[in-house]
Structure 1
């Protein structure tokens, strides 16, 4: 008997379905039967395992990064998907998907044989696919295999291959799944996993992408459009193919009407409605490139989580809500001040800043940014390098003198110690070149006093004084102090050989300590702006170091808290040392190297600060801190071949001989960002000092012999282990009386004490001037040192 050609296709399909029905029935009833390899024990175990995975393992979800107030900063995803519960999906959406994909969903048990036969007949009669042959349960299984299990292109092809073996496994899993989950749960999971085009996975993402709405508000025509796209997201794309998308939508509406889900009036109204698709589509940017000015902070969050043990797959598929420490107001002020001083399109110049909140239990990162725009288009002056937290190779200059001062305090000196200030050209025995020859050290300002307190030295920053102090502290201990207070990357970043350019297996800190490079106190070492800001936070936390954390909390898709492993806080220096050093840094804005910038900003609050400028003025830095926050700024040439920078009050620019200082652009940036954040609030006083660190320990204290007879004074000092020299001065005190000593109060071990002994005579007064008074040199800003008086001397031995 011969059949008409139009009947051959459905008859063949029916025959195949009968075979498939028999195989599936045999597989379910006799799972241990032989004959077909697919029905072996191994296959049965595979099916059971897959159904268990479908029940227990969620689909990939979008991770949302928010600021401290919970407002989104960025979205990180492999598939843009947000799960919503059943009650948050509109009845119209559920009805539309059932009408076009599985009208007998609530009647079958996972595989709808009646519906499959009906679909074959209906599709063959129309010559088109008007009804689906797979149930929603089967489609959910296929989608799960495609979007969750498959990790490679080969696995994705296997998950969608049109073979009896895959169809059999899909059917068997569907039958098992229906025994484990309710119909409503399966429908909900399907609507959350299905791909709906234009990067939208699941109904929540699709509702936002196409209609800028939420799934609970989807109307009948909107739901019908989305349901119709399941068959082909390309063919029925409403943006690229609006006519075919409209036809498909109207077909779904008609199916809803025929099945009694909507009445005739609703169908007519829905069919007449425009597509109403958003123009442009509401796309969610993926990754930190979509985070705008917070892109650098976003990248730091991802790096921080990775170092804490989170994998990229967890971050981009886990559906976490990562609430960060970022303060929006602080971020806005930081970015505004950075851009004011250095425009984003300034050639070869980057201005970067990080802001950290002190605390004994956590150091929260409030903001970080760069004058450079975060992005991938280098032609538009964009960069994705982590400028505010990755080390800046050009260094931070004299800000490193903080570590030498801290080490000296720990070794017994006090912040009131009268430091020696050798004149420019000082040849230190520890500051030498590769051949061991001393390199003359210079100061930016001449005419400095021969001695000044450590507090004044921190404010006015004479290089020779700190090289001299480093002779006492030793280089290795200063390096260790810098790591303890916050420059942790120095101990983990491999040292790069300056000759070969190759990384070594030793850290920067190890090499500097081994070679005892005295240039360390002058800040020639690669420096992380974030870590330098954290140094200030450590000092204002009474010597407690904590990792600079960007994480407030992490919750999973179910709202459960997700723990994160962070380094514990640790007491790295004595609280009294930290508090006293804060006071020792408190004159920078008054008569120190940032005084001009402070005055211009109208700064009046107590603070701790330190400027820095590196060799040849290729970079400059400022560390400023108050009890509420600590911030660091570095301005540098970020070109491939850094040049000196000039700063004439406008945007810095590359030039032949630089003149930028830490007291210029970096300090102006800090004051410009921080002042608006604290304006209108009462100033917080600095913490109390500790007498031990004011005047030093017993080992550094010198007996005060002023007023004693010279012989007795010498005997007492030499008995205490000090070398003594004397010089006679004219004075009205009795002859032989000590009228002065230098140093007085404290001294370095082995340092000679000079006694001034009275001659017993009064010098004749000088003659009165007969002409007009001579004008002296003008004072520095605010009566203090010249702005930015801290650039280093000759080239450091490590080539920095």
Structure 2
């Protein structure tokens, strides 16, 4: 007689074996319901087994599988896959019939004839395992599906113990696991058809090499979809399921072929294929056509940095989920398809231009971003490095110089004179002109009190000293000339006549903030607000190329700023659209202000600091440009735009503060470096090549010098933006942005052109800076005129008397001269 301790240890095994027996006795019932009737078994131990089985949970729970998300270019071509598990879920009819036959033949040839549990298999396993060995065999495809789903659930929840328990084979735990599978399998077959279970099994199965599911396996091993698999390919993949590591065709081709032929033999035996078909299949080579999918953005080639930016957008934007974990899981498990804004043609041309200008593999770096005016769509993002976490090699890095630190970039870059257009726009908003004359000494030395920020004189013990970098001057010049030739001292003179907080507001309305947080000197708080000091207008703030490209795109779009956006649309695994971040386009500058900025920057291209840049590449296209050079040429920039395309190029060292002057670039020693020296040609090659490749028309800017389009009118007053037809709130915002005060009349006027409630008239079209503009709202169309009386028969020979002439119902509209730009 066995010792008591041994008897005690064996009792759980006997109880579980009894449950197996109860299940076997109830065999025909299992496929019809979730509960095993007690009358189906006899004996107290067997009844106890029924109780054990009935007490187990019958709901498998969430069967959603972790699925790879696909990031595409704007034309829909794939860019990269992002995933925890490389899987693409497909439906039953998207799997080749021969693949379905192969997996059933080798794993469960009676799948369509038995219930969730194979009673014959259970009986065979009970006999085999009664001696105390591990549980063997008897698992149906449904049970295997259950086991794999349990493993996936545990993995997704980070529960390693649950994942291990789901595949336990030994002793009591093995029997318990098997019994639980059976109970859950009964529930699954009550909810799903056999076809759905088979598809689910093939979707959840692991195929080695970080490949999950039949679709990803077909793509990885044979570069085709699961629907197109041939018989030998199907048999090879079906054979892998039993032991993916041992039958990995990449590492063990002979073993995988041997296993494939076992599957084919079983298919022949079951009558799924005939002898000639079998003979041809076993004679076929492995036939791998590998299509490895590297994890995430490493596979995106020249778009890898942009791809990384897209991933960070999804993981940080609340549009994709309430918490960072929710957003990460949605991206890496949700099977999304994310169509981005990146144009593959422009991207390739831009990457080539960047590499031509600054060859990869040297310490000097270059980065470029291009944005579409009017939409904010990021069309290209390139830099002369290879996207890689292996940063020990020169030119290998994951650091994206185009974007902020929060989005994978660095601490930011000083932008030099590419900031000056924001000061210029503020100058024009204040009612001043391009033809205003300002002081432009060669050097300057001013006390801080000469500058105003938020209405207060700046305080500083040392004077602010400055000079010219890209040009020299003494005396005075117009703002137009100062912009074209990038004269630092002239812009500081302009800055002294403005409020630095107003300049900050202009830049930030165009999306330009600091690349990383710092303390605001006015508030003492951590923020991304630009540092407000006298050197601001010369571009000493740390920014990044993408936001500068977005700001210049707003100039090209006549004052409409759109946040640079990377995502056009996103759909979930079922094709349902998801909300994506908005470009939030809005008019932030008066049209005339933007046009005057463009006029000044065009002269920089034609006869200013960029006069020697890219004329042949741009092939006569109109360009507005601004060069930028920081102190000692540590960073050099070129920012420019056409009506269709805005872009920025930066060149500098990848770390530390170091001058480019005298550096060795592309194998030759360079001299003094400016924005037009290296970045300018890169910009022109990329922009000119892209527009030519797209066969884009040669659009022209609306010239701010034409009569009626100047910020200042011929009488010396400011032009007042036309706001007729706008809502009161929109009109007020536009007028206040242009430097005017606003009041709304209590009276209303009728108008056939303007809907009721909108602005029907404004009191002036030219006015002094700060003047009050009165807005009058529309009351809608006037009543219809009274009908004329029908003449009686006795009056037909005499013309009726006309009604008294009335003033035209639109008289008050026509009294105002319409804007020249309407």
Q: TM-score, normalised by structure 1?
A: 0.77
Partner of residue 300, structure 2: 291
* Aligned counterpart for 2:535 among listed residues 519, 523, 533: 519
Partner of residue 267, structure 1: 278
Deviation at 1:95, TM superposition (A): 1.1
CA distance in 1, matches of 2:637, 2:538: 12
CA distance in 2, matches of 1:445, 1:103: 81
**Residue 382 and residue 592 in structure 1: after superposition, are their counterparts in 2 closer, same or farther (change >3 A)?**
same
Partner of residue 94, structure 1: 100
CA distance in 1, matches of 2:20, 2:471: 96
Say whether 1:660 aligns with 2:673.
yes
Partner of residue 658, structure 2: 643
Deviation at 1:560, TM superposition (A): 2.4
CA distance in 1, matches of 2:528, 2:226: 54
Partner of residue 476, structure 1: 501
Partner of residue 763, structure 1: none
**Residue 40 and residue 421 in structure 1: after superposition, are their counterparts in 2 closer, same or farther (change >3 A)?**
farther
Say whether 1:318 aligns with 2:337.
no
**Residue 80 and residue 569 in structure 1: after superposition, are their counterparts in 2 closer, same or farther (change >3 A)?**
same
Contact (CA 8 Å) 2:565, 2:583: kept in 1 or not? Answer: no
Deviations 1:504-542 (A, max 9, x none): 8512426x23xxx11111111111101000011112222
Deviation at 1:254, TM superposition (A): 1.8
CA distance in 2, matches of 1:356, 1:447: 33
**Residue 602 and residue 137 in structure 1: after superposition, are their counterparts in 2 closer, same or farther (change >3 A)?**
closer
Partner of residue 564, structure 1: 580
Note the 1:365-404 alignment, pairs <5 A.
365-378=378-391, 379-390=393-404, 393-404=412-423
CA distance in 2, matches of 1:477, 1:202: 58
Deviation at 1:417, TM superposition (A): 1.9
* Aligned counterpart for 2:710 among listed residues 663, 676, 694: 694
Partner of residue 448, structure 1: 473
Deviations 1:761-796 (A, max 9, x none): xxxxxxxxxxxxxxxxxxxxxxxxxxxxxxxxxxxx
Partner of residue 142, structure 2: 137
CA distance in 1, matches of 2:432, 2:162: 68
Deviations 1:387-435 (A, max 9, x none): 1223663311011111111111111212222222133244354589995
CA distance in 1, matches of 2:137, 2:52: 27
* Aligned counterpart for 1:60 among listed residues 57, 60, 66: 66
**Residue 339 and residue 392 in structure 1: after superposition, are their counterparts in 2 closer, same or farther (change >3 A)?**
farther
Contact (CA 8 Å) 2:112, 2:194: kept in 1 or not? Answer: yes
Deviations 1:537-583 (A, max 9, x none): 11222222222111121122222222224352222222221222111
Q: For residue 646 of structure 1, give the secondary structure of its aligned residue in structure 2.
A: coil
Say whether 1:172 aligns with 2:187.
no
CA distance in 2, matches of 1:30, 1:454: 94
**Residue 172 and residue 16 in structure 1: after superposition, are their counterparts in 2 closer, same or farther (change >3 A)?**
closer
Deviations 1:364-393 (A, max 9, x none): 110110012222222141111121223663
Note the 1:499-518 alignment, pairs <5 A.
505-509=525-529, 512-513=531-532, 517-518=533-534
**Residue 189 and residue 103 in structure 1: after superposition, are their counterparts in 2 closer, same or farther (change >3 A)?**
same
Partner of residue 157, structure 1: 164
**Residue 602 and residue 167 in structure 1: after superposition, are their counterparts in 2 closer, same or farther (change >3 A)?**
closer
CA distance in 2, matches of 1:263, 1:120: 35
Contact (CA 8 Å) 2:71, 2:339: kept in 1 or not? Answer: yes
CA distance in 2, matches of 1:647, 1:123: 81
Say whether 1:339 aligns with 2:365.
no
Q: Taking CA–CA contacts closer than 8 Å with sequence separation of 6 or more, which of the two structures ends up with the larger relative contact order?
A: 1
**Residue 239 and residue 599 in structure 1: after superposition, are their counterparts in 2 closer, same or farther (change >3 A)?**
closer
Contact (CA 8 Å) 1:486, 1:538: kept in 2 or not? Answer: no
CA distance in 1, matches of 2:466, 2:47: 90
Q: For residue 235 of structure 1, give the secondary structure of its aligned residue in structure 2.
A: coil
Deviations 1:590-647 (A, max 9, x none): 11111112346465322211111111211011110111010011111112x2310026
Q: For residue 29 of structure 1, give the secondary structure of its aligned residue in structure 2.
A: coil
**Residue 36 and residue 16 in structure 1: after superposition, are their counterparts in 2 closer, same or farther (change >3 A)?**
closer
Deviations 1:155-214 (A, max 9, x none): 321322232333222211111111111111111111111101112111111112222232
Contact (CA 8 Å) 1:607, 1:625: kept in 2 or not? Answer: yes
**Residue 213 and residue 447 in structure 1: after superposition, are their counterparts in 2 closer, same or farther (change >3 A)?**
closer
Deviation at 1:440, TM superposition (A): 2.4
Contact (CA 8 Å) 1:426, 1:464: kept in 2 or not? Answer: no
Deviations 1:223-268 (A, max 9, x none): 2221121111112222333333233222222221222212233223
> Structure 2: which 5+ runs fail to align?
2-11, 39-45, 321-326, 405-409, 452-457, 719-766, 771-822
**Residue 647 and residue 675 in structure 1: after superposition, are their counterparts in 2 closer, same or farther (change >3 A)?**
farther
Q: For residue 548 of structure 1, give the secondary structure of its aligned residue in structure 2.
A: coil
Note the 1:42-441 alignment, pairs <5 A.
46-48=57-59, 50-51=60-61, 53-54=62-63, 58-118=64-124, 132-150=137-155, 151-152=157-158, 153-162=160-169, 163=173, 164-278=175-289, 281-309=290-318, 310=320, 311-347=327-363, 349-359=364-374, 362-378=375-391, 379-390=393-404, 393-427=412-446, 429=448, 436-441=461-466
Q: Provide the aligned C-alpha RMSD in A.
A: 3.6
Say whether 1:459 aligns with 2:484.
yes
Contact (CA 8 Å) 1:601, 1:671: kept in 2 or not? Answer: yes
CA distance in 2, matches of 1:747, 1:565: 40
Contact (CA 8 Å) 2:662, 2:669: kept in 1 or not? Answer: no
Partner of residue 528, structure 1: 544
Contact (CA 8 Å) 2:470, 2:674: kept in 1 or not? Answer: no
CA distance in 1, matches of 2:70, 2:420: 41
CA distance in 1, matches of 2:496, 2:188: 76
CA distance in 2, matches of 1:479, 1:233: 61
Contact (CA 8 Å) 1:407, 1:481: kept in 2 or not? Answer: yes
CA distance in 1, matches of 2:430, 2:629: 27
Q: For residue 399 of structure 2, give the secondary structure of its aligned residue in structure 1.
A: coil
Deviation at 1:136, TM superposition (A): 0.8
CA distance in 2, matches of 1:262, 1:447: 87
CA distance in 2, matches of 1:643, 1:532: 22
> Structure 1: which 5+ runs fail to align?
2-11, 499-503, 703-745, 750-800
**Residue 251 and residue 120 in structure 1: after superposition, are their counterparts in 2 closer, same or farther (change >3 A)?**
farther
Contact (CA 8 Å) 1:65, 1:73: kept in 2 or not? Answer: yes
